[in-house]
């Protein structure tokens, strides 16, 4: 565990900085400790114990630029300049954690050379003894590299500027740069947020531009890019009521997430979009006429990967049956 984490974090330190480095570190530690919850928090209000931070779980960033109160958590003791390692029963002396199932904890302060402790790193895991293999040298290295980046940021910006920049970075990280549609990361984030609500049923569609490779091969990638870029515009025009959100999954593949909409309703909306796309391309001076196929699946508190797989199977059924279809 130690060597893999150390190698990855050193590589991160050589190739990125700022928010990218910080997020990379907590993703790496989360992944290297069997999917633990990892936090990095910057102290925003010492009197109220308010921290602004980001979180990774199962090796991926799940929450960015959010605020929380740490009064009843082990994290609070870190600001008394303690490096804590609790192998089991993390909730024993912290009532807020009672019954949470979080058993192991490790955390350390991040110090500014002139201003003292301004931030902290913390990691929880549901199983016991999950951080036994993290050597003191490994922890010290992570602590040192994170301190370097956090201190640089705090020296360059006021805390409110950091929050604004983090919000802007978060938004940029959720948007596909070519099409300006929301990306797969945004879909995962929206899905997790939806699951926290009382009603999380609806429909999802996977969409694919027909014969896209032929467009690229015959007309060039510039034209192919323009075809991709028109897709969010066409779908956006039919989603002004907020009934669904449009995402680019990658390549020529897109997705529509429609909470509270059944399969029939989403299929009808997609067929309307096919007609709208055909009308827009009919007299277009730059773009060729092209179509898309779609597969629709319904969900009710299922996993995102399962729903995407089911919708993908229906998409390929549409492809096999002639394309320009919604199944």
Read off the pLDDT of residues 231-257 as tens digits, 9 standing for 90 and up: 999 998 877 777 889 999 989 999 999
Q: What is the pLDDT of residues 141-166, one digit of tens each?
A: 888 999 888 888 777 666 566 666 66
CATH assignment of 2-173, among 3.30.450.40, 3.40.50.880, 3.40.50.720, 3.30.70.20: 3.30.450.40
The fold for domain 182-320 equals Alpha-Beta Plaits (3.30.70)
Residue bearing the bigger pLDDT, 49 or 282: 282
pLDDT for the residue numbered 169: 65
Catalytic residue at 252?
A: yes
Residues 191-231 have pLDDT tens digits of: 988 888 777 889 999 999 999 999 999 999 999 999 999 99
Enumerate long-range contacts of 10-16, CB under 8 Å, 24 or more apart: 13/145
- How high is the mean pLDDT of the chain? 83
In degrees to the nearest 10, what's the CA dihedral of 99, 57, 190, 74?
50
Tell me which of 47, 252, 253, 310 is the catalytic residue. Answer: 252
Question: Residue 86: what pLDDT?
Answer: 57
- Indicate whether 10 pLDDT > 60: yes
132 against 231, higher pLDDT:
231
Among 42-51, 105-114, 137-146, which stretch is predicted with the lowest mean pLDDT? 42-51
The pLDDT, as a whole number, for residue 84 is 62
Burial 67-81 (b: 16+ CB within 10 A, else e): ebebeebbbbbbbee
Model-level pTM?
A: 0.54
Per-residue model confidence (pLDDT) at position 88:
45
C-beta separation of 67 from 44 below 8 A:
yes
Query: What pLDDT score does 89 carry?
Result: 44
pLDDT of residue 275: 95
Indicate where the chain has its CATH 3.30.450.40 domain(s).
2-173
Q: Residue 301: which H helix or E strand, with range?
A: none
Please, where in the chain does CATH 3.30.70.270 lie? 182-320
Residues in Cβ contact with 319 at an 8 Å cutoff, skipping those fewer than 6 apart: 208, 210, 293
């Amino acid at each position: 565990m130690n060597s893999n984490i150390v190698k990855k974090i050193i590589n991160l330190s050589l190739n990125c900085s700022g928010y990218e480095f910080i997020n990379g570190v907590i993703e790496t530690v989360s992944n290297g400790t069997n999917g633990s919850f990892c936090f990095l928090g910057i102290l925003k209000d010492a009197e109220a114990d308010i921290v602004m931070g980001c979180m990774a779980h199962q090796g991926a960033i799940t929450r960015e630029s959010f605020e929380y109160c740490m009064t009843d958590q082990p994290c609070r003791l870190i600001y008394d300049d303690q490096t804590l390692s609790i192998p089991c029963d993390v909730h024993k002396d912290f009532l807020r954690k009672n019954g949470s199932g979080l058993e192991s904890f490790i955390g350390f302060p991040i110090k500014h050379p002139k201003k003292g402790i301004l931030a902290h790193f913390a990691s929880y895991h549901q199983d016991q003894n999950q951080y036994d293999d993290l050597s003191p040298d490994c922890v010290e290295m992570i602590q040192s590299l994170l301190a370097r980046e956090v201190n640089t940021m705090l020296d360059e910006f006021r805390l409110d500027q950091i929050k604004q920049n983090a919000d802007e970075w978060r938004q940029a990280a959720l948007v596909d740069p070519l099409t300006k549609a929301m990306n797969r990361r945004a879909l995962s984030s929206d899905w997790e947020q939806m699951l926290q609500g009382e009603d999380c049923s609806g429909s999802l569609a996977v969409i694919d531009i027909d014969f896209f490779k032929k467009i690229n091969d015959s007309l060039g990638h510039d034209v192919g890019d323009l075809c991709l870029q028109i897709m969010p515009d066409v779908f956006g025009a039919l989603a002004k009521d907020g009934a669904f959100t449009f995402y680019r999954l990658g390549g020529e593949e897109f997705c529509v997430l429609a909470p509270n909409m059944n399969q029939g309703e989403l299929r009808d909306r997609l067929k309307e979009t096919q007609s709208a796309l055909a009308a827009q391309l009919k007299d277009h001076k730059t773009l060729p006429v092209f179509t898309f196929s779609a597969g629709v699946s319904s969900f009710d508190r299922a996993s995102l990967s399962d729903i995407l797989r089911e919708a993908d199977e229906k998409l390929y059924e549409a492809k096999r049956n002639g394309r320009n279809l919604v199944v």
